[in-house]
A and B are shown apart, each in its own frame.
Chain A
Amino acid sequence: NAGVTQTPKFQVLKTGQSMTLQCAQDMNHEYMSWYRQDPGMGLRLIHYSVGAGITDQGEVPNGYNVSRSTTEDFPLRLLSAAPSQTSVYFCASSYRLNEKLFFGSGTQLSVL
């Protein structure tokens, strides 16, 4: 029973590098989302998807891209990493909108 699988757990990037954070769920959830967690700011929504082929921006989308080609996968891409993107990233999913979220274990990203 995997739930939400998020990789990698840790990543260090240099400014300007690109990378993709992977997220997969095996619960046939419609809704998937990405959050970043910064000290004293709670979790902030980056992007979300309500189904395959449908994505939209959240509160802090700049510098990030997403796609949802399948129900299971929702990768988050950093096109040109900046130190301001140093954070802990969480992927989450729910069966439907407004239902409880299942979270991945998080990715600690440092951009030097």
Chain B
Amino acid sequence: AQKVTQAQTEISVVEKEDVTLDCVYETRDTTYYLFWYKQPPSGELVFLIRRNSFDEQNEISGRYSWNFQKSTSSFNFTITASQVVDSAVYFCALSRDYKLSFGAGTTVTVRA
């Protein structure tokens, strides 16, 4: 069985603060894929990043960065210098074979 845990239910910050979202996963497989998706208040789901289990290179994309550590089964996501538009629910997900498992999500509120 596979499982994704996002321990943080809600995070509230003031604009320009950094926000780190934690994601811990469980799987017995050696080949798998990890994702982050964003769901803004409008309700649509937007893809942010995909990583495979063999690629532990961390990535920075603008104000977003990701830290994949296979040794601790974690795939954390950081927003640097947060903005009000970053307010959303963020989901971490694990894909193996034909099934995708999502975490419960972390609601990020950025206050002006």
Contact = CB atoms under 8 A, between A and B. Distances in A.
A74 to B, nearest CB: 14
Given A41-B104, A99-B50, A106 B97 contact: no
Interface size class of A (residues with CB under 8 A): 20 to 34
B54 interface: no
B55 interface: no
A42 B91 contact: yes
B29 to A, nearest CB: 12
Contacts of A31: 98
Interface stretch (A14-22, A44-52, A76-84): A44-52
Interface of B is mostly: strand
B35 A42 contact: no
Contact of B91 (A33, A43, A99, A106): A43
Interface string B71-83: 0000000000000
26 contacts: A31-B98, A35-B102, A40-B9, A41-B104, A42-B103, A43-B93, A43-B102, A44-B102, A45-B99, A45-B101, A48-B98, A50-B98, A59-B99, A59-B101, A92-B45, A98-B33, A98-B52, A100-B35, A101-B35, A101-B37, A101-B47, A101-B100, A102-B47, A103-B45, A106-B43, A106-B44
